[in-house]
Structure 1
Amino acid sequence: MIKIVFLCVVAISQIWASPLARLYQTKGIDAVELALEDRLQGVEYWREVIAEKGVSLGYYEGSPLVVVVNKSKKSLKVYDPKVDDGKELLNHEIITGLAGDKQKEGDLKTPIGVYNLVKRFVPGDPFYGQIAYALSYPNVLDKQQGKTGHGIWIHGHPLNNTPRYTKNTEGCIVMTNDLLEVFDRDLKGKKGIVITSENGLPRVDKATMEELLSQIFQWRNSWKYSDIKKYLEFYHEDFKRFDGDNLSEFSQMKKLIFSRKEDKKILFQDLAVIPYPDEQYESMFRVSYYQIYETKNHQFRGEKEIYLTFKDNQMKILVER
């Protein structure tokens, strides 16, 4: 007990000896908040955060399992992205749809992109095996790109020994029932993120992730303090809001809101920055987080997603929801 008290006293002493404590003493808590926000916008802070972490599969503050599907190699691999720069837990042979990205209902292609596993269920038809997982296709980027279709699952083979196609599916990801049981056992109770690609996942280096994370918080800071010029610099010329507004329409709406100079509280929790294998843009990411947003007249708490490009060391938002 004496040892615990001693350690607490030492910890408190270190805090009060820090520059932040001195800042609090001389200028108050608001100055401390500004100093911490400034630090979040710097590459140096994120270099420290990810120094001992692997980020080749993305940056994750939660603890999801990442499912990587390579359509050309007919492989499904499951990773713990926080262990050993992406520790491979499972490697399964699979069947997928036709080559190329899914564009429309009935084209028999497995979509390329990043999706959540949104539902585990028992299929009503034994043709699909004993269990299935539904993917969140189409995501908001797919919808803005005009892609259609639904019902993309990870599922098994027929339970009644009915012959099934062996080379391609109608768009789903299919594995044998014994492998599906292993997949289900390891995934159960955990959040699953699926990254599907044609020829392999675009891996991320630490320098890119450090810069991108710092810019995400620069964007948040410009939003919080109503710096409309800097805020709009983070948006791509091809930007489309989830409701269809283009960049010009979105900019006019934001200029009106920012002109009010409201005090805002904006927090990002459970942040995930995931490489996105899009065929149109060279370097893309899906950024998801739980957002807490509060002003005098408006409050929001919920899941958010943005899809962005990162080219020439500059983040540009394409779509947000």
Structure 2
Amino acid sequence: MWNSPARRVAGALVRCRATGRRFCRLLAAGCLGLGLVFPAYADNWQAPLYDEGLPSHLVAVDKHRQSFLFFERKSPLRLKYTFPCTTGQVPGDKQVVNDKRTPEGIYFVEYKIASGLDFAEYGGVAYTLNYPNPVDRLRGKTGHGIWIHSKGFGIFPRDTRGCVAIGLQDIDTVGPRLVPGTAVVLAHAVDENNVPQRDDGTARYLRHRMQQWSDAWAARSEKMFDFYDGPAYSKATEDFGRFRQNKQRLFKMLSFIKIINRDIHVLQGPGYWVTWSEQFYTASNLSTEGVRRLYWQKDKQGEFRIVGMEWTPRDMGMLAEFKQGKLIAQALPVLSDSGEGPTRPALDMPESAADEKAAGTAAAAADGEKERLLAADALVPRNRPTRITGEVNWGSGATLDTLRPDERELSLTGDETAAQAETPQEKAAPAQAMSQTVAAGEAQATATVATPAVQEPATPPPPPALELTPVLRQELSTRVSAWLSAFTDRTQRPEALENAYYDSGRFNKVKGLPRGSSLAQERRERQRLLRSPWLRVYPGQQDWSVDGQTAVCRLPLLFVGRQGLEEGVRELWWQRGEGDAFRLVASRWTPGRQGLATVYLEAASGEASAMLERWRAAWEKADLDAYVDCYTADAVQQGRRGARFLRQQKQNLWQRVTPTLVQLSGMRFSLDRRGLRADMMQVYADSKGMSDRGTKTLLLEYDGADWRIAREDWVAEPPARQP
């Protein structure tokens, strides 16, 4: 028996595995000796934290020691909390989806999920991170869903699929401090005893580099593009050529741009750096504020270039300070030892020596104009009201500016500009004297004929720009809601929809507006959505702005159908058409997370809870028809497939014994690709005195009318041991 063929084969396999491991180690050593480097799953990155540009608080995770560290900047940075944590089941840096590794790098909290989570897995609350960040995408990393959360029944070392988990009490303590934008350093090791380290000058240099980039942007200068690594930026963020063209077009249209950075921070990641700041942007047509993040890497010449960028709109009170004239730019420490203080660059940075001379002459001619244009001056609000426009890019192709490519100058029209440029002599239209002629042979007196100059017909002034009054906003909002209802209405024919809401002759053809979807693409998009046997729509808050005669709506949308969830932003450009009704002249759909999945989960959870209560009551009463009606036709229940077999099994069982108690508690819902997953504790008892308790897991699907159970799994608790 011990020397059987099977035994000999097993022994040979063990020896082969051991030999293979030794061969791999020798191969790796040889490759290192030859200078060959293979892509490693883990760089064992040791995270440094320097004493320059640190945020007011940050999280650091030591994966090796399984420690969660929370720091506060109290001159200097100090450690406030240390908690045990658990990270990915597989050690090393995350590379691909489902590799069960926790990534290493610099990340930021996006938002909080406070409902609909499986308690055992997540502890009921989670804070999402922006993995993959632009550098991760540049390096070809994949995956998603890296969170900071807890565990319902305790944490164990390396027990997640890539997230960071801490204890229930610990997340209650630190959770309120994990506000959106909080920096999170995920590393193989963090030495809290050596925090902060002395900056060697790189961190300070990059803070100045971000300010110089902002100055070039505000100056509408071509020098701004020198800050980018074009090929890397195209791979990590968006097509650099298209980005550059849009910027150059805006530079020509806008009469001024002004940017103020408040609190420029900097952290070093594995092979890259991140700078970020609270940023206020104002131009001749809008003002907006948010958090700007730049990702830097060295190019072949050793110069730091921008390879990635993220923008998060957020209300931080900067607009209010702007309106009060109190918004001041941050003064950075000088880079050299010359003792010179920080200078405030003018917004109209000249492009050449000739431009510089002309700019100096113009500035000298206008009293006080130069001081008004300094980037660090308190901003004076315009008479025209401004509003913040949203721009969402949680991990999806961010653009540099808060302006959309179609936004144009509103404060000064072309006619007004021309009128200001005219001199008094040019305004006078002189009559040109014509030569006098005498009609020979006629008895008429000689007359002098004066022929006036032929003048071009006066160009009618353009209609006044739209003003986003409450009445107009209500009209536009009603129009968008009606369009969305018609767009998702299966009874609405395409031609009726287009006649009612689209300007077919000008759609996607208006000069100055972006090329979005064509009418044919709009039809195909609608047909694709309506292929689902049912469709539910969850709109977010409408965000309106005006651009001359165009009203622009940014509408976050979530579509839920049989195929799953589809989330993004629909941009709609409206102009008045025949009959004075607003009609669509352009439309564009941009996929991306908008936070509406949580809204859907809350609504769906309430509906599913009501169905599960009917299911529980029907089970407890042995109401066979009502019980089976809660299942899909192809439902799976502990090996039985199909509602017909479920009915037969329960009918046979309930003829012998009937339920007396079905109790459900601790119900938790989470989103699943097919619908909802419900986890709960279940207690059951029957008429013969048998009882049990355990965990019931249900997969729920929506059929267009109600939720139904598609799969049912049961795990009984083991009986308690007798003392």
Alignment of 1:245-264 (within 5 A): 245-246=239-240, 248-258=241-251, 262-264=255-257
Q: Which residue in the other structure is 2:309 paired with?
A: 320
Q: Which residue in the other structure is 1:290 paired with?
A: 278
Distance 2:83 2:309 in 1: 33
Q: Is 1:157–1:174's contact at 8 Å kept on the other side of the alignment?
A: yes
Distance 1:245 1:129 in 2: 40
SS of the equivalent of 2:81 reads strand
Distance 1:251 1:188 in 2: 35
- Cα offset, 1:220, TM superposition: 1.5
Distance 1:285 1:105 in 2: 24
Q: Which residue in the other structure is 2:612 paired with?
A: none
Q: Which residue in the other structure is 2:58 paired with?
A: 66
Alpha-carbon distance change, 132 to 299 in structure 1, aligned in 2, over 3 angstroms: closer
Counterpart of 2:221 (choices 221, 227, 242) is 227
Q: Which residue in the other structure is 2:260 paired with?
A: 267
Q: CA RMSD in A?
A: 3.3
Q: Is 1:309–1:318's contact at 8 Å kept on the other side of the alignment?
A: yes
Q: Which residue in the other structure is 1:119 paired with?
A: 112
Q: Which residue in the other structure is 1:33 paired with?
A: none
- Cα offset, 1:289, TM superposition: 2.5
2:205 is the alignment partner of 1:215: no
Alpha-carbon distance change, 179 to 123 in structure 1, aligned in 2, over 3 angstroms: farther
- Cα offset, 1:183, TM superposition: 3.0
Q: Which residue in the other structure is 1:195 paired with?
A: 185
* Per-residue deviation, residues 249-270 of structure 1 (Å, max 9, x unmatched): 4444444444568421112234
Counterpart of 2:86 (choices 73, 91, 95) is 95
Alpha-carbon distance change, 141 to 262 in structure 1, aligned in 2, over 3 angstroms: farther
* Per-residue deviation, residues 53-95 of structure 1 (Å, max 9, x unmatched): xx716515x63x2100122232221111x22432011122221
Distance 2:309 2:126 in 1: 29
Q: Which amino acid aligns with 1:68?
A: A
* Per-residue deviation, residues 135-160 of structure 1 (Å, max 9, x unmatched): 2323344345443323222222333x
2:157 is the alignment partner of 1:169: no
Distance 2:228 2:198 in 1: 22
- Cα offset, 1:168, TM superposition: 3.7
Distance 1:260 1:122 in 2: 46
TM-score by length of 2: 0.32
Q: Is 1:288–1:304's contact at 8 Å kept on the other side of the alignment?
A: yes
Alpha-carbon distance change, 225 to 58 in structure 1, aligned in 2, over 3 angstroms: same
Q: Which amino acid aligns with 1:302?
A: G
Alpha-carbon distance change, 78 to 240 in structure 1, aligned in 2, over 3 angstroms: same
2:289 is the alignment partner of 1:307: no
SS of the equivalent of 1:233 reads helix
Q: Which residue in the other structure is 1:104 paired with?
A: 96
Alpha-carbon distance change, 78 to 58 in structure 1, aligned in 2, over 3 angstroms: farther
Alignment of 1:125-144 (within 5 A): 125-127=118-120, 128-144=122-138
2:147 is the alignment partner of 1:153: yes
Alpha-carbon distance change, 250 to 157 in structure 1, aligned in 2, over 3 angstroms: closer
Distance 1:101 1:91 in 2: 22
Alpha-carbon distance change, 296 to 237 in structure 1, aligned in 2, over 3 angstroms: closer
SS of the equivalent of 2:217 reads helix
Q: Is 2:91–2:101's contact at 8 Å kept on the other side of the alignment?
A: yes
Distance 1:191 1:236 in 2: 25
Distance 2:178 2:52 in 1: 22
Counterpart of 1:85 (choices 72, 76, 84) is 76
Q: Which residue in the other structure is 1:13 paired with?
A: none
Alpha-carbon distance change, 254 to 169 in structure 1, aligned in 2, over 3 angstroms: same
Distance 1:72 1:290 in 2: 33
- Cα offset, 1:176, TM superposition: 3.1
Distance 1:154 1:301 in 2: 27
- Cα offset, 1:317, TM superposition: 0.6
Show structure 1 runs of 5+ residues with no match.
1-54
Distance 2:144 2:63 in 1: 18
Number of equivalent positions: 253
SS of the equivalent of 1:90 reads strand
Q: Is 1:111–1:171's contact at 8 Å kept on the other side of the alignment?
A: yes
Alpha-carbon distance change, 123 to 206 in structure 1, aligned in 2, over 3 angstroms: farther
Distance 1:190 1:243 in 2: 21
SS of the equivalent of 1:308 reads strand
Alpha-carbon distance change, 77 to 287 in structure 1, aligned in 2, over 3 angstroms: same
Q: Which residue in the other structure is 1:179 paired with?
A: 170
Q: Which amino acid aligns with 1:198?
A: H
SS of the equivalent of 1:104 reads coil
Q: Which amino acid aligns with 1:290?
A: E
Q: Is 2:108–2:180's contact at 8 Å kept on the other side of the alignment?
A: no
Q: Which amino acid aligns with 1:213?
A: R
- Cα offset, 1:318, TM superposition: 0.7
Alpha-carbon distance change, 134 to 259 in structure 1, aligned in 2, over 3 angstroms: closer
Alpha-carbon distance change, 86 to 96 in structure 1, aligned in 2, over 3 angstroms: same
SS of the equivalent of 1:106 reads coil
- Cα offset, 1:195, TM superposition: 0.9
- Cα offset, 1:194, TM superposition: 0.9
SS of the equivalent of 1:239 reads helix
- Cα offset, 1:309, TM superposition: 2.4
Q: Which amino acid aligns with 2:276?
A: S
